[in-house]
Structure 1
Amino acid sequence: MSDLRTKQRIRRLQIMGGIAAGLTLLSLAAYSFDGPSMRASERDGQKVIPDFAAIRAEASAIRVSLSDEAYTLVNTQEGWKMGDEDGYPVRPDRLAELATGLEALSWGEGRTRDPDKLNRIGLGDPRDGGTGALIEIIDDNGQVAASLITGRKDSQLYGRLPDQEQAFQVVGDLPPFYNHDAWLDFDIFEINSDAISAVRIFDSVGESLYLQRSVGSSDRSFIPGPPFQNFKLVSRMAASTPALALTRFDPIGVKPASELQTRFVGRHITETHDGLEVDVHAFREPDGYFVTIRAIEAGEGAHRGSTINDKAEGWAFQLAEYDWNEFTPRVSSIVRPPALALEADQPN
């Protein structure tokens, strides 16, 4: 009996020893993944960019380098722009988010020192094809006043200095850097659907159409107006979709209008109840679908028209094909001429 209990005790000790060994191996594996992780350092709580306010005041540009592209935000007399002084304006809210984030950013716990593991937490040097984003603040003399490689893994933000391999968690937040178009200020106008009174459409085959509705009517109340009042709608949706296209204006890119290589293939003029007109010309370019915008000042819409032109003049805005198609419908997809409408109504 005593021998049996002894064997059982030994067996339990062996099992417990095996569990302890397994836990030790798991700990070592976790340690080897992140290197000396979750450790305190003398940087804990210190600002990532000391004296950021002074650096910000002297900043002439902010350069962002990624593994597959690089872009620069430039401080001009007319505000921050993308690329150079003639570039497209940068969103002020996104720029403020970046400045606030960099100023508040502080070092957290140390993570890996292993250069082979930096890509796992988004801190590989992008100049060598790594996963990180290199942020460099350039002063008036063209010198780098401050720099940081930053990246994310899951919801955690990480950072390190470009000339150091030690990685850290960082406390704070920064805007995404991986889409330069997200920095562009496409807040050109805001027109509600109930403000639109009419639309003129000129399609690619030379046909034209005028759609209108009365004040207070629904979004699906557009009907052919003079001289097309005897035309028959294919459907109410066929009329309302292009009529309200401007309310869904959502660019995905931009380029100087001077770089357009083709002639426009459609024209779309939106009219509002208070006298504003927005004239859109559509272009099918080798590199995508683009539109130009010109507001016509009239009546109470004069101030808004001038504001729109200040932002849009000289630029061609890229749209997704689906959105571009709403500005360029064939007239035949919206209405039938009176003769064809009568023929369609005849019994077989």
Structure 2
Amino acid sequence: MRRRTLLALGGAAAAAVGGAILLTPDRASPPPTSASDLAFPGLAPRLANAATIEVKRHDGTLLVRRNAADTWVLPAKADYPVRPERVRELLVGLTELRLTEPRTANPEMLDRLGLDDPSRPAATSSLLRLLDAQGGVIAELVVGRRRVRVQGNVPESVYVRRPEETQAWLAEGRLPLDADPNLWIDRDLANIPRDRVRGATVMRQGEAPLILRRGADTDAPLAVLEPTTTPELDEISLDEVARGFEFLTFLDVRKAAEIPGERIGEGRFELTDNLRITVTAHKDGETLWATLAAEGDEEAARLNARWQGWAYQLGQWKEKAFVPRLEDLRKQEATAPAQTDAAQPTASEPATPGTGAPATATPGTGTPGTTGAAPESPATPQ
């Protein structure tokens, strides 16, 4: 009895201790941040002197430069401003990058990590260089493949090495690196809902003005006021004029003074909230280029701050939205599908009843409507 009592009391005590452990709040501190060495110690103060970001790959070089107005621009896109957050993200990534694990130092193995010579044809590596105004190197790194994360709350990592070394490292940190200039700029120009467009006046070179207006009702479609006599118009084409500024993006950009092609006309749009927009269109072969200018209040000032001084290449379909001709708005007549010869009976080939198809006689048989069948034998007398 005494032994049983001791065992019972011991079990109860163990359960109590276990419950206390489970119910006690976890006061353990979170795991410490990486204690690995920074890839570029003391880089942050030197960023004030950064003037050029250079990304070299086997197929070309991307340059991002800081101009006299302290704005980062793309020389390949006529010095068009880049998205500030892209530059900030890259520079912060460089200052926080840590070399966590040494990997291979064998030059023949570097291509497996995407760290081979960036100038080699078909190489997947990139050479990132941060330069000052005199061309001096502030930081440089060969960047290879990113390591895929398979668990949550795990820092991003990437394989890197210094250009003059063959030692590869697994580095911890986010280092966004894009060699495509279109990924550095904001290509959105405007997003103005269709119901804000109340009217448009289109003046094409060598053609009479085309005037469109919306009725008093907000939901009323655009209608042609001039010319007063028009063919039957297509509602979808008219609606595309009203939707011209919805999700408007550009394909390429140049200085406005360097707009290519010949001027084909302009569209003047009247919108709600005292906003007016003029689109001046040029055509360079099949390519559509345009400048945009706004008039009105604060909204117009914000739009002009973005548009002024630039010419944008737009999608070809935008020509019919910004500078349409009356012919572009005409309703296209539906064309009846052509009938095949096989479905059209001729005088010499009467149609077979119940089928609507001409009867064809099989050569050598004299039996219409059969193909390749042997002639039926006459009944044999019994």
Compute the displacement of 1:230 (Å): 5.8
For the structure 1 residues 229 and 117, does the alpha-carbon distance in structure 2 shift closer, same or farther, using more than 3 Å as the test?
farther
Q: Which digits, 9 at most, give the CA deviation of each residue in 1:109-135, with x for residues without a partner? A: 334434344344433333334322221
Q: For 2:115, which of 114, 117, 123 is the aligned residue?
A: 123
Shift of residue 72 of structure 1?
1.9
1:130-166 Cα offsets, whole Å, 9 max, x none, are 3222211112332011011223357463222111222
Corresponding residue number in structure 1 for 2:126: 133
1:247 is aligned to 246
Q: Distance in 1 between matches of 2:292 and 2:244?
A: 13
Counterpart in the other structure of 1:270: 269
Amino acid in structure 1 at the alignment position of 2:267: H
Cα 1:275–1:124 change in 2 (3 A) is: farther
1:245 partner SS: coil
Name the amino acid aligned to 2:244. A
Aligned to 1:261: 260
State how far apart, in whole Å, the 2-side matches of 1:151 and 1:203 are: 52
Q: In the TM superposition, what are the counterparts of 1:209-220 in structure 2 within 5 Å?
A: 209-213=210-214, 217-218=218-219
Q: Quick check: 1:47 aligned with 2:38?
A: yes
Q: Could you say which residue in structure 2 is the equivalent of 1:195?
A: 196
- CA offsets, 1:66-114, max 9 Å, x none? 2222132222232111229972111112222222322222223334434
CA distance in structure 2 between the partners assigned to 1:208 and 1:122 by the alignment: 59
Assess if the C-alpha contact under 8 Å between 1:61 and 1:75 holds in 2: yes
**Bigger mean CA offset, 101-110 vs 49-58:** 101-110
SS at match of 2:178: coil
- Is residue 147–residue 159 contact of structure 2 (8 Å, CA) maintained in 1? no
Provide the secondary structure at the position in 2 that maps to 1:147: strand
TM-score, length-normalised on structure 1?
Answer: 0.71
For 2:245, what is the secondary structure of its paired residue? Answer: helix
Can you give the 5+ residue segments of structure 1 that lack an aligned partner in the other structure?
1-42, 342-348
Structure 2 equivalent of residue 142 of structure 1? 135
Name the amino acid aligned to 1:227.
E
2 CA distance for matches of 1:128 and 1:71?
17
Instruction: Note closer, same or farther for the CA distance 1:226–1:321 as it changes in structure 2 (3 Å cut).
Output: closer
With over 3 angstroms needed to count, the CA separation of the structure-2 counterparts of 1:162 and 1:87, relative to structure 1, is: same
In structure 1, the residue corresponding to 2:274 is in which secondary structure?
coil
1:63 corresponds to: 54
Question: Structure 1 or 2: larger helix share?
Answer: 1
Structure 2: 5+ residue runs without aligned partners? 1-33, 149-156, 334-382
Identical-pair percentage: 27
Given the alignment of the two structures, is residue 306 of structure 1 paired with residue 301 of structure 2, yes or no? Answer: yes
Q: Aligned in 2, Cα 1:276/1:171: closer, same or farther, shift over 3 Å?
A: same
Kept after mapping to 2: 8 A contact 1:283/1:291: yes
Whether the 8 Å contact between 1:44 and 1:107 is mirrored in structure 2 is no
Q: Give 1:332's aligned residue.
A: 327
* Higher Rg: 2
Distance 1:119 1:217, change over 3 A: farther
Per the alignment, do residues 263 and 324 of structure 1 end up closer, same or farther by CA in structure 2, a change over 3 Å counting?
A: same
Evaluate the alpha carbon distance shift between residue 109 and residue 228 of structure 1 in structure 2; reply closer, same or farther with a 3 A threshold: farther
- Paired AA for residue 61 in structure 2: A
Alignment partner of 1:100 is 2:99: no
Q: Which has the higher contact order (CA 8 A, sep 6+)?
A: 1
SS at match of 1:107: strand
TM-score (norm 2): 0.65
Work out whether residues 122 and 132 of structure 1, in 8 Å CA contact, stay in contact via their aligned partners in 2.
yes
Q: Distance in 1 between matches of 2:111 and 2:96?
A: 25
Change in 2 beyond 3 A, CA 1:287/1:48:
farther
Q: Could you tell me how far apart the structure 2 residues matched to 1:217 and 1:49 are?
A: 59
Q: Is the 8 A contact 1:290 1:324 kept in 2?
A: no
Distance 1:288 1:70, change over 3 A: farther
RMSD between aligned alpha carbons? 3.2
Q: Secondary structure at the match of 2:65?
A: strand
Q: Quote the Cα distance in structure 2 between the aligned partners of 1:326 and 1:112.
A: 58
| Distance in 1 between residues matched to 2:225 and 2:204, nearest whole Å | 18
Aligned residue identity for 2:82: V
Structure 2 CA distance for aligned equivalents of residues 85 and 201 of structure 1: 30
Amino acid in structure 1 at the alignment position of 2:55: V
Counterpart contact for 1:268–1:281, Cα < 8 Å: yes
- Encode CA deviations 1:240-284: one digit per residue, 9 max, x unaligned: 112211222111221122323321224233321112122112223
